[in-house]
Amino acid sequence: MPSSTTPAPVSGATRPGNDLAGRGARIELTGLSKHYGDFTAVDDVSLVIEPGEFMTLLGPSGSGKTTTLNIIAGFAGPSSGSLKVDGTAIESTPAHKRDMGVVFQHYALFPHLTVAENIAYPLKRRGVPKARRAELIDAALATVHLGDYGHRYPRELSGGQQQRVAVARAIVYSPRVLLMDEPLGALDKKLRDWLQLEIKRIHAELGTTFVYVTHDQEEALVLSDRIAVFNHGRIEQVGPASELYERPGTLFVAKFLGESTVLRGEATPEGDGSVVGVCARHLRAPGRLDGTRAAIVVRPERLEVRPAGHEPGAGWNALPATVAGEIYLGSSRKLELTLPDGSPALVREQAGALSDARRGDEVTLTWRVRDSVILADDPEVEAVFT
Ligand code: ADP
Ligand code: MG
């Protein structure tokens, strides 16, 4: 199973300027599994989350993200494996003693309490004296930019404001970990885009370790120091967004994160790389894959369209193609191409660097060998994504 061992550069240092700032905890999952009867919801997950890191658990519905988060939170016990926080095993520590804040998709504010009373709740449970409570509530409301809303009731707030109150309530006691399960899932896109930036800012201000669940790959790209891609209860790959995008380790990761053209063929090893037969052509790709069904994956912005008959230079691959469609996107243009075997290819051209290609044209599709990756083909991935 390919995975990155390189943690993102993170700072666990206390940030000045926010009264709730503190040092984030290190979380270590080792061989974690969760079974429900015969069904395996989480399957041998190992993951280290560094102090102060923003880690996103990304995957399709049912892939085990929430179950993993619930095990970290203490809402579910693992069937096997270990969970450590700062080196201490906490599988048997009850949820309320784990020093973790939690935010769910549905805000779960107490409707009969004001915003300030909602935020006071976890402080009261911890026996924080009243004067100190008031200071901390002010700091939490200021952090989520709702300074003037303490006296309102949840029903008097918009969905986005209620979710910011839920964040304030989760951070008010300076937990060393903040767990969020699709917190923006119920909000419309504009609000979501803005709150993503708010969450990123709050993370930077607090220094807390964030573990964030989403099925939205764009959201994961915006927010994360690193992303763990889940599929069928397992982690397929862990790494910074750029690494998952540029160097996906499996076809599932390549298809789940961003757009790509997948060229399927038969791999043969050759010196420092592989050659794959696709549409009766030999294509080169970096990396070795020995004598199996292979897929070469290329991102749309790495593909170029040239006139038919164009001869590729050294270090380039080329395939004949037909332009099947054009999509104008303002800052860029997408070209949908069809390859000789009928399979599709997707090219993205930046405005200002558009080719002359039009719908119906015969063209040459070309790309640098080093801008592609070769991966084991996986028929199941085709079933999921088509
Ligand atoms: P995700 O958050 O990625 O959508 P979940 O972790 O919620 O996925 O669920 C993973 C799988 O485990 C799903 O197939 C789900 O139906 C199953 N599952 C989750 N909780 C339970 C439960 N309490 N009993 C039985 N199956 C469960
Ligand atoms: Mg879920």
Lowest-confidence region among 80-89, 129-138, 291-300: 291-300
Ligand 1 proximity of 45 Cβ (cutoff 6 Å): no
Q: Which of 26-35, 101-110, 142-151, 290-299 has the highest mean pLDDT?
A: 26-35
Structure tokens that stand for 322 in this block: 């037909």
- pLDDT tens string 121-136: 999 999 999 999 999 9
Does the pLDDT at position 383 exceed 80?
A: no
Residues with CB under 5 A from ligand 2 (ion): 66
Alpha-carbon distance of 6 to 239, in angstroms, equals: 7
d(CA 238, CA 316): 29
Give, to the nearest 10 degrees, the angle between helix 130-143 and helix 159-171. Answer: 130
**Is 7 a residue whose pLDDT tops 50?**
no
pLDDT for the residue numbered 384: 63
Nearest residue CA, atom 13 of ligand 1? 62
* Ligand 1 atom 22, closest CA: 36
Band (107; pLDDT cuts 50, 70, 90): low
pLDDT-derived band at 291, boundaries 50, 70, 90: low
Average pLDDT over the chain reads: 90
CB 208 within 8 A of CB 50: no
Average pLDDT estimate for 298-307: 96
Q: Residue 182 CA: which ligand 1 atom is closest?
A: 2
pLDDT at 385: 60
Domain architecture of the chain: domains with CATH? 27-246 (3.40.50.300), 259-384 (2.40.50.140)
Mean pLDDT of 207-227: 96
Cα–Cα distances (Å) from 10 to 7, 101, 203, 280, in that order, read 8, 20, 11, 47
Q: What percent of the chain clears pLDDT 70, i.e. is strictly above it?
A: 93
Rounded-to-integer distance, Cα 109 and Cα 123, Å:
15
Q: Is the CB of 63 under 6 A from ligand 1?
A: yes
Helices (H) and strands (E) in the chain, counts: 9, 20
Across the range 366-385, mean pLDDT stands at 85
Neighbours of 84 (CB within 10 A): 16
Task: Give the tokens for residue 308.
Answer: 């038919």
- Distance, CA of 206 to CA of 225 (rounded, Å): 15
Q: Helical H runs in 84-209?
A: 115-125, 130-143, 159-171, 189-206
Q: In what order do the strands lie in the sheet with 100-103?
A: 100-103, 177-181, 209-214, 54-58, 226-231, 234-239
206 Cβ contact partners less than 8 Å away, ≥ 6 residues apart: 15, 18, 20, 21, 22, 24, 143, 171, 174, 178
Model confidence band, residue 9 (pLDDT cutoffs 50, 70, 90): very low
Looking from the CA of residue 68, the nearest atom of ligand 1 is 6
What would the two tokens of residue 77 be?
Answer: 């016990």
